[in-house]
Amino acid sequence: MRIALAQLNYHIGNFEDNTQKIIDTIAQQELAGADLVVFSELCVSGYPPRDYLEYQEFVEQCEASAHKIALACTKVACIIGLPIKNDVLAGKDLYNAAYFIANGRVEQVVRKALLPTYDIFDEYRYFEPAQTFKCVRYKNHTIALTICEDLWNLGDNPLYPSCPMDELMKESPDFMINIAASPFSYQQYQERTFLLSANCRKYALPLFYVNHVGAQTELIFDGGSLVFDKAGDVVAELKYFEEDVQLFDVEQVQASIVLNREAKSTSDIEEIYKALVLGIKDYFRKSGFKSATLGLSGGIDSAVVCALACDALGAENVLGVLMPSKYSSEHSIKDAEDLASNLGCKHTLVSIEMVADAFESTLAIEFAGLSPDLAEENIQARSRGVIMMAMANKFGHILLNTSNKSECAVGYGTLYGDMCGAISVLGDVYKTQVYQLADFINREKERIPINTITKAPSAELRPDQKDSDSLPDYDVLDKILFEHIERRKSAKQITADGFDEMLVRRILSMVNRAEFKRYQTPPILRVSPKAFGMGRRMPIVSKYLS
């Protein structure tokens, strides 16, 4: 028996394209000699469909697409993922399901039992968990078919009271198939591989695992579908960050023959780079836009975002806007110009001095007798925001936000100024990681000017301003933020790790006070295990950590 794993990039709610892509793949794999073609979780609708699932028409279109796909399966079988109606009145209205299709019709329905409701996942909001389990039988093979989280309930502290595979093992399956939508983070590969391998060892069965690839706004799916033998060793690995379809012989997998291993990146930074490029590319493609604009300050953040955008969209589709103020240094302008020259993207210069002066003149009576402070600094940042949004509107660009995770965490940014944009590229990348990204981008030649990398970071909103005037050294700040955000440690726990107590409490208080800003920022491309946005939900008006 030959099984094709189809790791494809879907578009949420684009039923025509998703369905045709699936049908075309079935036809291609039929010619290649496949007996069964396996697609990923909720491939028909795209993942995650979120509140589209509350619309009856959306679910009906999923079913109509499945019917079209079934008509293409007369000589080969397939497995697809889609939401389906729950015919029982009690419970949620839908199931997260898989259709096993053969002979031109749906032969069997498998429903997901374990519904993740943590971090970025919210499946119990929509779906009823399965209560009954049955293997799929096809071509003299018994297949234990599960959906994503159904294989994730292992370890010393399982999240769910039962495992679907324990029930399916009663039918003595020959191998497992798991269809998934497992988003990327730079730690996910290790956890994913470990858990899937542990299932193979526990049940002494081979596993065919197929994942999504592509970005859906914040979420980035890295692909990397896998085949394991019964000992839990990886015998085949599909590509990362791109579509891939590969055909496997079940008997070879059962014999533990190594079929194919994709060269896996060992560097977190290289993984983050690839994820961000894919995230930008798919955000534009799936939104129907081609060109990007961003402010170029001569600083490290905007330089890295510009390089990523050029790699994702082509340099000809990126416009950098230099917006110097009376506090901007000559080297900042030159660094930005050198960057644009190195990358080959378009750039223009629009001074904000007259704009900011106009605001200050307008407010002169109201501000009379008061010394310049944060209000005047923010006027400059918001002047830039107005200009950038005007450029985006006039020329049909998408504005890229360049704030990093360190700044987002402590609120070191101006709402409606440097925090505006349609998508935040670095909002889940700490400042220290931004420097590592710059080094990676420059791995073959100097694309980001060396001076941009080596100079002290500054917002340049007042004379001789440096980030260090307001923030601790980024090496220290990022370590404390990581312990608090990713590892969810309290001030007491972080202090016990050797950090200064007053500094820790100050930083955690800044994080807490900045929550109102993060509620109003663009969606952030997720690359870490705990990103700001849909996976981290905090109250705005709270006392804890204040």
Q: Please identify which of the residues 112, 281, 431, 479 carries the catalytic annotation.
A: 112
3-state secondary structure of 387: helix
Residue that the structure tokens 């109201």 belong to: 366
299 is known to lie in a ligand binding site: yes
DSSP assigned state of 524: B
Residue 53 phi/psi, 5-degree rounding, is -65, -15
189 is known to lie in a ligand binding site: no
3-state secondary structure of 217: coil
- What is the rounded distance in angstroms from the CA atom of residue 62 to the CA atom of residue 197? 32
Q: Please identify which of the residues 41, 271, 377, 460 carries the catalytic annotation.
A: 41
411 is known to lie in a ligand binding site: no
- 41 assigned to active site: yes
519 is known to lie in a ligand binding site: no
By the 8 A CB rule, do 374 and 399 touch?
no
- 326 assigned to active site: no
- What is the rounded distance in angstroms from the CA atom of residue 543 to the CA atom of residue 541? 7
- Spell out the residues 6+ positions from residue 227 whose beta carbon is closer than 8 angstroms to its own: 5, 206, 207, 208, 209, 234, 235, 236, 237, 248, 253, 259
- 148 assigned to active site: yes
298 is known to lie in a ligand binding site: yes
300 is known to lie in a ligand binding site: yes
Is the preceding peptide bond at 539 cis, omega within 30 degrees of 0? Answer: no
Could you count the other beta carbons within 10 Å of the beta carbon of residue 356? 22
Q: Please identify which of the residues 43, 62, 73, 148 carries the catalytic annotation.
A: 148
CA-based torsion, 117, 95, 99, 202: positive or negative = positive
Q: Which two tokens stand for residue 371?
A: 């010394």
182 is known to lie in a ligand binding site: yes
Single-letter amino acid, residue 419: M
CA distances from 350 to 28, 309, 486 (A): 52, 21, 39
118 is known to lie in a ligand binding site: yes
DSSP assigned state of 300: H
- What is the rounded distance in angstroms from the CA atom of residue 80 to the CA atom of residue 186? 27
* 439-458 b/e (C-beta count within 10 Å ≥ 16 → b): ebbbeeeebbbeebbebebb
- What is the rounded distance in angstroms from the CA atom of residue 10 to the CA atom of residue 212? 8
DSSP H or E segment with residue 168: helix 164-168
Sheet containing strand 105-111, edge to edge, reads: 105-111, 94-102, 77-85, 36-38, 2-7, 244-249
402 is known to lie in a ligand binding site: yes
Residue that the structure tokens 């045709």 belong to: 20
Residue that the structure tokens 């209205």 belong to: 93
Residues contributing to the annotated binding site for L-glutamine? 118, 182
Residues contributing to the annotated binding site? 118, 182, 295-302, 378, 402, 407, 517
Residues contributing to the annotated binding site for deamido-NAD(+)? 378, 407, 517
Residues with catalytic roles = 41, 112, 148
